[in-house]
Structure 1
Amino acid sequence: MIKDLLNLSGKNALVTGSSQGIGQAIALALAEFGANVLVHNRKGDEEAQNVASQIRQKGVKSDVIGIDLLEVEAVDELFAEATQKLGPIDILVTNASVQLPVDWNDTTPEEFDKQVNANWKSTLLLMQRFAPGMSERSWGRILTIGSVQEEKPHPAMIVYAGTKAAVANTVRNLALQLAEKGVTVNNLSPGVIATPRIDEPTPPVPDKISQRMNIPAGPPGQPEDVAAMAVLLCSEAGRYVTGQTIFVDGGMSL
């Protein structure tokens, strides 16, 4: 039965950047379907602890990891701590990212490096650490969180959009290499989702470009819209989907 294929009981998941917004919704959804879930953010603060508490209330295991992915040894530390707290990780969701809106010709080298390192470099390094164990166990799910900006780049987010496109390409590359080992690799790309990030100030966009970025379905989506697709892709129900970018964007990418 399909509902049995969605059952994640006994699986261990790590969702980066999961103390709020889309990451939080994915972490809670995976727990709802039976997975043990590690909550990650930069500080391991009360916000993250609250999400972990909500996860444990669903009858599964959870803990918090506070590590800044921009630090030099961050990925190695995250791998070691995740394994120590929960055991082998079966599901890796790379949701943490940095978005710095600025006019393209005002982008500084520091802003470029920060977004590339947080969004693309750390994703690849996390894959390098977690994928081998998944391959050895012949089961794994790697899910990157992309963006509609892979298709409709915002004028004030030229670097952010570029990193998301790079991650989508990395997903296709790795999926081909891991497919026969029981590990799927996919990219889930939200559109405008009602999270704290959409309230951040952004340089104004010319009308003709603004019209190109309309949402055919109307209002912004909700984090749960993304989380539902994440559960499918991270479960046995999604075993035959790999190397794909799936947009959850109300048609904005069209």
Structure 2
Amino acid sequence: MIKELFSLTGKNALVTGSSQGIGQAIALALAEFGANVIVHNRKGDEEAQQVANQIQKQGGKSAVVAADLLEPDAVEQLFQQATKPFGPIDILVTNASMQLPEEWEETTPDQFDKQVNANWKSTLMLMQRFTPDMADRGWGRILTIGSVQEEKPHPAMIVYAGTKAAIANTVLNLALQLADKGITVNNLSPGVIDTPRIEEPTPPVPKEISQRMSIPIGGAGKPEDIAGMAVLLCSDAGRYVTGQTIFVDGGMGL
């Protein structure tokens, strides 16, 4: 039955940056379909614990971990913490990212380094650390969270958009290398989603560019719009999909 292919019962999932927004929605959705979910944010604070509590109240298993992905030893810290509660990780969702809007002429080396390290470097290092366990068991799911800006970059997010494009290329590269090990690698790219991030101040966009960044479906999406596709790609229902970037953007990338 198709319904059974979506079951994640017995699978262990780590969703980085899952205390709010898209990450939270993905964590809750994976738990709803049976996964044991590790909730992560930078501090492992009350916000993250609330997500874990919600999962537990709904009958699922969850734990909270903390790691600042800008720190040199963050990946190893995260690995040690994430594998302790339930065992090896089967599903890795790299959702955590840093977005520092700035006019491209004013972008500083520090802003560049932080976004590249938090977004692209940490994603690759997390993949390196978690895939051996997946390969040993012959089953794994890696899902990166990209952005419509891979196709339509915001003028004030030249570095952020660049890191997301780099991640999409990394997915294309690794999917081929990991396919014979039972591991799928995909990139899920949201458009404008109604989360706290869209409230952050951003330099204004010239009218002629703004018109090219319209949303054909109209209005912002919801985190749940992303979570549904994430469940597909992280389950056996999506076993034949790998190396793909899938846009969930209301048609914004068209």
Query: What is the TM-score when the length of structure 2 is the normalising length?
Result: 0.99
Structure 1 residue aligned with 2:47: 47
Deviations 1:30-89 (A, max 9, x none): 000000000000001100000000111222211101110100100011001111122110
1:202, 1:121 → 2: CA distance? 24
Code of the aligned partner of 1:234: C
Matches within 5 A, 1:120-159: 120-159=120-159
Matches within 5 A, 1:131-210: 131-210=131-210
Structure 2 residue aligned with 1:33: 33
2:129, 2:104 → 1: CA distance? 33
Structure 2 residue aligned with 1:72: 72
Consecutive unaligned residues in structure 1, runs of 5 or more: none
Structure 1 residue aligned with 2:59: 59
Code of the aligned partner of 1:145: I
Code of the aligned partner of 2:46: E
2:227, 2:56 → 1: CA distance? 18
Q: Secondary structure of 1:112's partner?
A: helix
- The Cα shift of 1:157 comes to 0.0
Deviations 1:95-133 (A, max 9, x none): 000000010010000000000000000000000000111
Measured on the aligned residues, the alpha-carbon RMSD in Å equals 0.5
2:66, 2:128 → 1: CA distance? 20
Structure 2 residue aligned with 1:229: 229
Structure 1 residue aligned with 2:23: 23
- The Cα shift of 1:15 comes to 0.1
2:11, 2:215 → 1: CA distance? 35
Percent identity of the aligned residues?
Answer: 79
Q: Where in structure 1 do 4 or more consecutive aligned residues deviate above 4 Å?
A: none
2:178, 2:58 → 1: CA distance? 32
Tell me, yes or no, if structure 1 residue 104 matches structure 2 residue 104: yes
Consecutive unaligned residues in structure 2, runs of 5 or more: none
Q: Secondary structure of 2:143's partner?
A: strand
2:25, 2:102 → 1: CA distance? 28
Deviations 1:208-235 (A, max 9, x none): 1000000000010000000000000000
1:243, 1:55 → 2: CA distance? 30
- The Cα shift of 1:180 comes to 1.0
2:124, 2:245 → 1: CA distance? 16
